[in-house]
Structure 1
Amino acid sequence: MFQIRELEMIHWDFWRAVRVPLDAQIVTIVGPNGSGKTTLLDALRTLLALKCSGRRDYKRYVRNNRENYAWLRGVASNPRRSGGGLFPYLFFPLTCDEVTLFCRIKKQGGDWVRQYAIAEGNVTLTAETEAQLAWIGVNEYRRRLEQAGLTPAIAEVLALEQGDTDKLCEYSPKALLDLVFQVFGDKEVLDHYAETKLRLKEAEGELGKMEQQLAALGVDVERLKLRANNHLEWRALQDDVEQLEAQVVPALRYVEQWESLRGYINQFKGSRRALKQKQDELDAIDVEYRQAETVQREALTHEDAARREYDAAFKAFQDARDVARDSEKTLKEAERLRQLAELEHGADAVALNDRLARHKEAAAELKQAIRMAKEERQRLAEAQFALQQGRPPHPDFVARMRAALDEAGIAHQLLTEIVEVRDNSWQDAVEALLAPYRHIILLERSADRQRAWEIGQELKYRHFIVPEREPVARANANSILEIVDFKADAPAWLAGLLNRTQRARSVADGQKLDGDWITRDGFHKERRGARDISAKPGDYAFGEAARHSRLAEVSRRLRELNEQLLADESRLGDLERDISMLTQSLMGMQAVVQLAARQDEFAAVAERWPDEERRAQEAGAALAAAHAAWEQMRNTREEGRIAFERLKDGRARLDAQVGMLLDQSARQREEQSRLIRALREAKGALPGALSAAAELRALKERYGGSREVLHMIEHERSRLGAGDWETDATVVARRDKLAADYAALERDTRLHRSEVMRTGLLADEARAAYINKLKATVRAYGRNVKRLGELAGIEVELELPQLDNDDLTLAQAGLSARFNFDQKGMMGLNDGEASGGQQVMKSLILLIGLMMDESNPTGFVFIDEPFAHLDIFNIDRVGAFLKATQAQYLITTPLTHNTNVYGPSELTLTTRKKQPGQTWAPLIAQTRRRTRAAEPA
């Protein structure tokens, strides 16, 4: 190995620029504690890319001077190798005797970085030098130094801590053997073998895991095979279901659609025939309707003619009656005058006055009755006209309410307008049951309810205003609803009332019925009990029979009123004449005078009175005949109107049926067209193989119909739903992949097993062969320490370890050394019998023995304070031992030691502490030993 000749430091720790020579075998670095001895050695370590002592590093030293750079420069020897070879010089291709080592430390990016360079010859440090050098990194620089002999093991020795160089004797035999193997490069090989063994064990473990994985994978393969078979069965069922759904069901539905279309066409034809029949019936009834309409118009014309004849006869009767009445009045006046003349002389004035008052009171009451009868006759005449026109009259409060609703634009109907009784024998019962509801108002639109109710509130309408209407449900047998027709939708509760009320022929018959019932004459039984609720015929309001009944009642009442008016008016005339006569009597008029004065008038009236009376009687007979003819014509017209209304209703029903059939026919035609289009689309959607009629027939024969296929699909789906199926479609691919993985893993396992076996065999054979190299290393180290012992005058024996190709033996092997000082007997490494100086000698022998190399005996060693705790004799002994070796030693020692420590030193470097207030530390003092010139032989 090379040796250090010179060291130059710039900005290293507190030294600004220091150059010290190291061209001596033994260099002693002396100085007080903290003066920089270890700092100097750490500079050499940093120059050689070694670790600094303790916990220090190079950054600590370059930070102290507060400069942005630092330099280390060293001059080293470059001897020629004794064996030559490919690298004849230590720093080949550099061939000079000396080389210069450079370390440049700079601050970059807030951190310190170092670079190295090697120059040929002794090169000084200048600005030009820095530019000309080839700078390399730390790893490359260490590789170059290792090539020059500074192996990693020697680097570990050079980096020993302060005070550790004299403690090698305290190592255990195993630790000492490890150190020897590490220095001579065998430790790395052993580590490689150990790592190989470890890797081999790991490989065996991996092989075991692979075998376990192979077994588990085999189980997984079998499990996936079962799952894959299950999936394939499930997929077959799914495909079968999909085929049935996608092909068979559409095909069968196409067949069913075709059959349905044929049936629909036949149904359409039947509907067309029914439509033709109804149209023929409508045409026939339309002819009857036109004829009835003509007859009705003629009957109305005849009725009008009869009424006019009646009016003419009535006028003639009135004229004849008035003439006869006037004559009758005159005759009665003559009779009255004669009676007055007879009573005139004996009449009592008080009695006549009372009689006059009674006649006046009776005349006033009779006039009031006549006035009320005429008003009633007027109302009845208007009601008769309305009933004749088919418009039944309504009470005033109903008329006001309907007018308000019409004004508000609210469409509505009365309940009486939509109810028709089919069986007139039950008219009394229907009228009795519906009497409380005759004035109910039904709204056409339920959205009008709020406004209609507000109007009802304003007018205080006491009957229901119903917005909810719905079609009437089917009637129960023997119910009132069964004999009632509704022309429009009705309240559900009303239809329910009629539907739950049964018809009873008598009370005894009603006892046999459950629930509500009513008799023909209106005796009603409900949940609260039974009572008579019959209605008067004049109060009928529902249906055509009610209108006829009311019309007959109005006509009868009119006749009664006319007869009563004639009688009342006659009585009123008599009363008025009596009142006039009594008044005249009380006024003192002479009845005899008046009778004599009007004798001629009275005679003439008496003469024509029989003829006038006869003409009045004839006019009355003619009036009666005209009234009978008019009544007959009116009855005939009314009967014709009823037949006409029935024809009209029948025509309307047939027309509605024809319209419904036409709509139905249109819908059927559209539905037929839709079915044809759907059939074409269904046929177009069928697969080509199923579009042929033979295939469709085969499917029909095989499956029957789509319903059976749907049952099959449902069965298959229930089977799919109930079974434990594998639905993952990737299971087949996973099975195949897992089988392939199993085969590949099986091949890899066989290959790995053979490789493990072969690797183990090769590793055992190689390490068995390398054991000889280990034994040679131990023997070489033994020779080194023995020769060093001879130089020091110490007998050294080494107990060579037992090195076999066995892990346990190698792990427990150790190197034991025994030393004999001054023929006092052998002692071990650290048995407590040696003195301090002997301990130092042991450690130095063991240490320097590590540095000896027969091929390259040179080299250098850093020894930090080797003379600590030694007496003078041992200091001299150690110094003599150091001088006897061929290595270069850099020794540190404090100032407190004996001066004998300088005995072996050829060059002494003295360090001094930095003074307070000074920026830089003092320069290192140099003392070189003077040597005598060699005397001539």
Structure 2
Amino acid sequence: MFHLQTLELVHWDYCQRICLPLDGSIITIAGPNGSGKTTLLDAMRTLLGLRCSAPRDYRTYARHAGAQTAWLRAVVDNRPQGRQSSSRPFARRLLYSDQVTLACRIDRNGGDWQRRYCLLEGDVSVEQMLDMPEKDLGFMGVEAWGRVLSAAGLSPAIARVLSLEQGQTDRLCEFSPRELLRLVFDVFGDQQVLDAYDQAREHQQQLAREMAQAEREMDHSRAQLAELHNRVASYQAWQLKLAERERLATEVLPVLAWHGEREALTRHSRELRRHKAQHRAALAEQAVQNKRLLHLLDESGKAQQQAAQLRVERDQARQQLDEATRHEAPLEQLAKREQELLALVDKGSNADELQTHLARLQEQESALQDERSQLAQQRKVAAAALAALEGQHLPPLPPEVARFRKALTSRGIGHRFVAEVVEVQDERWRAAIEGVLRGHRWVALLDKASDLADAWELGERERYRHYIVEPGAVALKGESGTLLAHVKFTAPVPRWLVQQLQNLRCVADPREGKKLGGAWVTPQAYMHDGRGARSMWVDAHEHQFGASAVQARRAAAERELARIDAQLAPVLDALMAARRQIGDTKNALAGHSAAEELARRSDEFAQAREQLPAARQARVATAQLWQRLEQETTRAHDRHRAFNDEHKRLEAQLQRARGDSERAAQEWSARRRQQQGAVARSQQQRAQFPARWIAPPAIAALVDEYLNDTQARLRLHALEQELQQGSWEQDATVQERHRRMDATVREQALSLSDHQAKNAQAATAVMNARESYIEVLRSTVRRYRKNIQELGQLAGVEVAAELPLLENDDTVLAQAGLKVHFAFDGKGSIGLNDGEASGGQQVIKSLILLVGLLKDEESGSGGFVFIDEPFAHLDVRNIQLVGHFLRSTRAQYVLTTPITHNLEVFEPAEITLVTSKKPAGARWAPPIAVAKRRGVPERRPLPA
């Protein structure tokens, strides 16, 4: 590496023009703080193309001078550096003189500054360079300048060291082991081996790039091939769709339409035959129903006659029962009278016993009187209910419903209640219908929707608790098996009511309902819905729907009257007996004798005892006869009513069936005429098709593919939309281009395979070059270890370096590091940057590492180093150690130090440059004083 000999500054910072000698080994720049010591170092850094001390740069110094151009010039040594080396630092630039001039010209370019560099043989002054043409100077940029100096020995690694700023002398010992190893190899590495390794790696990378380029080209070609393939597929699909559209329009649609019409005609023919058979069956059924109607009429007459005869016999039996009762009653009263008198005779004349007996009889009389009153009231209610049913076709309305009807009528609002429009079709399911519809009996069905607001207003005022709804819809006959099938509505009803009955399935018992699931109801009104199951039973006297409900209520009222009468008769008899006993007891208390009456009426009492059993037996037999006839009369009356109702129902059904048959016959005739015309048109259309189109296999294939003409029409419409809206390839040449591109892709695949083989060979070459690089790296590390160990001996420091693990692998090489340990004064080992060293030891470590990089194995000398204030924070002993160390090496040092009372800092210097501060108001800084040592006496300080 070259050494500096002189440095010249023109218009650099506040220096107008100065020329400084630098031909010593150790140059010390001394001066007070702010006198320009770092300015001189930054001038040298700028001249060498390095960074200035942050945050300053060359623009700052050029701007301070206030001139348009600034010059930095240095004369460097170009002689061979080693004892056995004949190579000059700048021989690659064809410069073989002993001296070479390095120059940097800084010009103002608009609002910015621009620096340019040149390299000249010999010692060339600034004036000479100004007189020379610029093309002869060969100015270059900072990057090209860095390459020129790197070839002369100023490697990027040394450039990093020279760029250390003020107070960062110990920065080198802060490097990580991996950074230090990289720095060592950059400085010492065998350039040829490194170049061979770089060339091999670059060759492999170039081949990899070429292979990647080939892969990209092949991927691009494959993408183009895929695109062409898609376009070919699109073109073929377009051709297929055109052919399908043509076939659909000309063949498929007409044939399927004709086939569909033929199928429809066939179905219609079968349907007409089925309707004809149904009409004949309906006529036969009507004949049977006519016979059934006559039979019902005959049976109804017989039942009516039988009921009339049984009523006569029942009335006669009633008369006989009344006569037997009248014959038995006096005899029974005499028997009771005898027993009462005997009871009084037993009590004798004891007044207290008579009083107790009288009180007991009076209590009995009071209880019987209350029971008679209750039964009388019940009989009155039952008689009123029976009287209310006389002449009625429907059961009477409840009071609150009657009041609301009156209010609606007064407003002129037409209406009906649900109870008035329901008829039970099958009496077997009456209990279920009554139970399910019980809560909806008094829902008001308005005739007009416009009356809804007025009706709601009346409902609010009257507090009517049932729904008021607008006109509903006519309810159709329910499905078989549902409760709706057994109900007939004579007026429109709400849809929700019809739906409720439609949802209820009719089952025989709960077990069947459990198997069926869902909502169901039994004939005994046991209903199940989503919430569970419960009984909806309604007693017969509460039935509401239809004329049968009136009959049921009347029968229930009659049964209720008979039951009350049967309970009331013994109560009256007991009441009369109690009253007689009360009278007798009162008479006994008044002094009458019961024994006297017994004696006087003994014959009468004896006769009554003899006749009473026969009279009682006759009454019982007559009562049993009357009850039997009563039951037979009721059954005969019910049979007559059932025959009569069935006759009416069957007659109405027969009338409807006759009307339906007539309409069906007319409709069948009209449809048959239409069918004949459609068959003739189908035959004409068939004659227009080719025979192969309408062959059974061809039609079966069309049906399998399109199902019917509607689906074929939809397919044709979809095809039209796809052809119009889709993006289709219509260029027929795309198939040929696809074939050519396929051939190109195959050729590129072969070329890529060749590139892959070459890349594998290059990888082998890189591995061999890496092995050589590793050998050089090992020798470099050993050389550097030797240098720093020798330097450590000069400084009195034990230095140890661990050789890194080096393998033929880029990852291992990238992670390898150089670990260096120092031992000061026989103390423990200290690493690079472990925080164990003092400030002076940090400086010594960094200088050892730094000078070890500059030490030449052949000549024992190195290049030059800029060290900004290396003696900062050092005591006298450490300053002496550092100075001794610097003097013992052969490198060129440019040191800075402030003016200090410790003269030891000047002891190793051969040249001392003394800077001064610029006086206030002065244009330029004072000249720099130069003190040059003639000899190097041991430890003789420079004069102040």
Same fold (TM over 0.5): no
TM score, norm. by length of structure 1: 0.44
Larger Rg: 1
Normalising to structure 2: TM-score of the pair?
0.44
